[in-house]
Structure 1
Amino acid sequence: MLSSPVSTHDLGDPSTWRPDVPASQIFEEKTWLQGSFLSAIAYGVVVTLFFLNLSLLLERLKKDPSNWRTSSRTRQNLALIAYVGVMFILSTLTVASQAEMTQLGFIVNRNFPGGPAAFQNIMFSIPISRIGNVCFSLMNWFANCVLLWRCIVIYKTSTLSITKVIAVPVIMLLASFVTGVIYLTQISRPGSSPWATETFTLIYGVISLSLNIILTVMIVVRLYLHRRRVVRAIGARHGSQYTGIIAMLIESAFVLDVVVIWFIVAFAIGSPLANIPLSTLVQVQTIASFMIIFRVATGTAWASSSVADRDMGTKEITNRIEISAIRFGRPGTETVTAIDGSHGSHSRAKSIDIELVPPSISQTMTLNDSKV
């Protein structure tokens, strides 16, 4: 039933419309509401990326109908389809949980002592909120696993031992599992919240942040060093799909680090601004993972063969440059040859004093070269 219309003469003084609460409480309530809105917007991006990835991965399966028992490519596609499906379900459950909590706090229980912000802070343990909390931790672990997988792929062809490279990240990932379970146990108690268990929240957040930063730095450094090698060998135009700035940021899930740092800093100083990244972090994790998988599905992500293929490409281009530099001519004549292929410069060099072809053909080639 719709509410009855109110006459503008009955509205009273506009100054009385504002609730009689401190400005700090109003600001905190704004951050919760803004975080919920941003989370819904980010979920729209998640939905778009989910269907893009799903269609691309299914298309890859159709093009490669090999049995999953014998084809590693097919197994990878199936695993990625399962991953995006699970992440999408968890993301949907989380945004539904947040929407219901927002309605409960701002509409149903609007007279809760301390206002909607207090309801959001205290009622972390009710079942609808618990669903979102569990999904949050699960998606955090899954997102870290994808980032670790990309790190392994990128370092697989490195001269460094892959076991030594991933030893610290693996240990930190296990620590993230343990602290995440403790965190969920703590905030699931009646009346508890991340602010009531500040120590465990910070420990869990710092471990996850440290793991993300370590993996991000490892991936970016590896791609940057490879970029320098490619540029030095065959020019800046080659290899940009793997080593461009945007490519490196996507591969390393840099956006996730930014949001986690925002939350940790704001939470540590007790600022209500921590509510915004806390509400959006789940969707940001999903977006970061889906963008990586999108690059894998489109064939633009770094693969284990990228270094080998690039090295072969470098040798092939170098050989072509050397071959194109050969000019046939009469002994002692001057010809223009392209020596420096990486910079496109030219230099003059004496032709080799060996008769490779009959004089008549040699003279013809020399004349043709002089016209060029």
Structure 2
Amino acid sequence: MIYNSSWAPDEPPDVLYAEKTWLQGALLSNIVYGVELALFIMCFKLLVRQMNRTNRRRHLILLVFISVLFILGTIFVYSLSEFTQLAFIEQRNFPGGPSAYENDMFWIPVDELGVAVWVIGNWLMDLLLVWRCIVIFSALPGVPIWAVVVLPSILFCASFSLGVLFLVKTSHSSPYGSPKFTIIYFATTLALNVMVTVFIATRLLYYQRRARTVFGGMHLPHYSNLASILVESAALYSIFSILFVVPLALNNPLGSVFLQALGQVQTVSSLLIIYRVARGRSFPGDESVQLSTTQRSAPEIRLGHMPSVRSSIFDMGNGVKGDTHKEALPNGGVMVTHEVISDESRSVV
């Protein structure tokens, strides 16, 4: 079909721009929901497959957690879809158009349902981040855990209280009706996420440096790259929060795009963390303690100056005989094992 400018609605450009942002935000939210669905299935399968007697309780808790997150995300998508349908189809002749309907009728039950599940999901994600912060810093010697989590805990309590007030206010108005309070609430939850993001990223970067010192650049752990740092710290949600709060403070309708996607983005961020935990690729406490207390004593390892334990081996099938040596570093932190096979044609070190 050929586009004809005469078919365009007789509305001011700013009104059309506002309507575009509301509609594009709903579409973006549904796209992110597809990612959320895929991650939920992957996490659920991994947690069930790897469940055993030793980790049964932990995996059951994680299964309940991701199930609640997914249910909340699904309810949010339903609420958003129904509200968008009302604004753009069923109530399209509302004075001011669909964008005015979305602003003025934000309080109706079908949309308030989405706001409620979004706030609950936000609380759950904040709790998850505080928990990850505790796990990652609990293995750091010399640093009391309360010194790390006291500020995030205070911000979480403030975010929880403001979230309750946000639900009360949006039950009879729009977030845009009280922009100052909305900015305060989102700034508080954003401050919590940014603070935890900085804490976790700093800790993982420190761990990366320690791993590079001990193992060298060729054997860095899988949780020391940039992608894992961004996942562990839920930086994706922090970025989307900034993209919403800044346009809101500037009274720019562009914030509507990111507002509608925030609910799904926070669920995706949480599921990415759980997925790393389920795969066993999350930040491990034991290795953190070992790396934090291990120092490399010399730029090269001199095997001749180390105590060794020698055991003779003999392969009856191949007639290969050799020696296995286990050398311990002077600081006791690293064990080097090498094997020399006394075969005429090959040697393994």
TM score, norm. by length of structure 2: 0.83
Shift of 1:308: 3.3
Contact 1:94 1:135 in 2 (8 A): yes
Among 238, 241, 244, the alignment partner of 2:222 is 241
Q: Residues of 1 paired with 2:25 and 2:164: CA distance?
A: 24
Partner deviation per Cα, 1:146-178 (whole Å, 9 max, x = no partner): 111111000001121001210010010000000
Q: Residues of 1 paired with 2:5 and 2:63: CA distance?
A: 55
Q: Residues of 1 paired with 2:155 and 2:134: CA distance?
A: 15
Q: Which residue of 1 aligns with 2:269?
A: 288
Q: Which residue of 1 aligns with 2:175?
A: 194
Q: Does 1:30 align with 2:20?
A: yes
Q: Residues of 2 paired with 1:174 and 1:247: CA distance?
A: 27
Contact 2:190 2:241 in 1 (8 A): yes
1:42-61 correspondence to structure 2 within 5 Å = 42-61=32-51
Q: Does 1:14 align with 2:4?
A: yes
Partner deviation per Cα, 1:108-133 (whole Å, 9 max, x = no partner): 01101000001111111111001100
Letter of the structure 2 residue corresponding to residue 99 of structure 1:
S
1:189-338 correspondence to structure 2 within 5 Å = 189=172, 192-308=173-289, 310=291, 321-323=301-303
Q: Which residue of 2 aligns with 1:139?
A: 121
Q: Does 1:100 align with 2:64?
A: no
Contact 1:234 1:314 in 2 (8 A): no
Q: Does 1:40 align with 2:30?
A: yes
Q: Residues of 2 paired with 1:104 and 1:275: CA distance?
A: 17
Q: Which residue of 2 aligns with 1:357?
A: none
Q: Residues of 1 paired with 2:217 and 2:120: CA distance?
A: 40
Among 151, 168, 180, the alignment partner of 2:133 is 151
Partner deviation per Cα, 1:66-93 (whole Å, 9 max, x = no partner): 2xxxx5x322211110000000000000
Letter of the structure 2 residue corresponding to residue 31 of structure 1:
T
Contact 1:35 1:280 in 2 (8 A): yes
Shift of 1:322: 3.7
Q: Residues of 2 paired with 1:324 and 1:59: CA distance?
A: 46
1:64-83 correspondence to structure 2 within 5 Å = 64=52, 66=53, 71=54, 73-83=55-65
* 3-state SS, counterpart of residue 248 of structure 2: helix
Shift of 1:324: 6.7
Letter of the structure 1 residue corresponding to residue 303 of structure 2:
I
Letter of the structure 1 residue corresponding to residue 145 of structure 2:
I
Contact 1:100 1:128 in 2 (8 A): yes
Contact 2:210 2:292 in 1 (8 A): no
Q: Residues of 1 paired with 2:119 and 2:261: CA distance?
A: 13
Letter of the structure 1 residue corresponding to residue 76 of structure 2:
T
Q: Residues of 1 paired with 2:267 and 2:252: CA distance?
A: 25
From the superposition, tell whether residues 59 and 112 of structure 1 become closer, same or farther in structure 2 (CA, over 3 Å). Answer: same
* 3-state SS, counterpart of residue 125 of structure 1: coil
Shift of 1:323: 2.7
Where does the alignment leave 5 or more consecutive residues of structure 2 unmatched?
Answer: 307-328, 330-341, 343-348
Greater than 2 Å deviation, 4+ residue runs: 13-16, 237-240, 308-315, 320-326
Q: Which residue of 2 aligns with 1:167?
A: 150
Letter of the structure 2 residue corresponding to residue 26 of structure 1:
L
Letter of the structure 2 residue corresponding to residue 44 of structure 1:
G
Q: Which residue of 2 aligns with 1:180?
A: 163
Aligned-residue Cα RMSD (Å) equals 2.4
Contact 1:182 1:200 in 2 (8 A): no
Letter of the structure 1 residue corresponding to residue 21 of structure 2:
T
From the superposition, tell whether residues 19 and 265 of structure 1 become closer, same or farther in structure 2 (CA, over 3 Å). Answer: same
Q: Which residue of 2 aligns with 1:361?
A: none
Q: Residues of 1 paired with 2:119 and 2:167: CA distance?
A: 8
Shift of 1:239: 3.5
* 3-state SS, counterpart of residue 217 of structure 2: coil
Letter of the structure 1 residue corresponding to residue 171 of structure 2:
S
Contact 1:187 1:197 in 2 (8 A): no
Q: Larger % of helix: which?
A: 1
Where does the alignment leave 5 or more consecutive residues of structure 1 unmatched?
Answer: 1-7, 327-340, 342-364, 366-371
Partner deviation per Cα, 1:310-347 (whole Å, 9 max, x = no partner): 469988x99x9443777xxxxxxxxxxxxxx9xxxxxx
* 3-state SS, counterpart of residue 305 of structure 1: helix
Contact 2:33 2:77 in 1 (8 A): yes
Q: Which has the larger radius of gyration?
A: 1
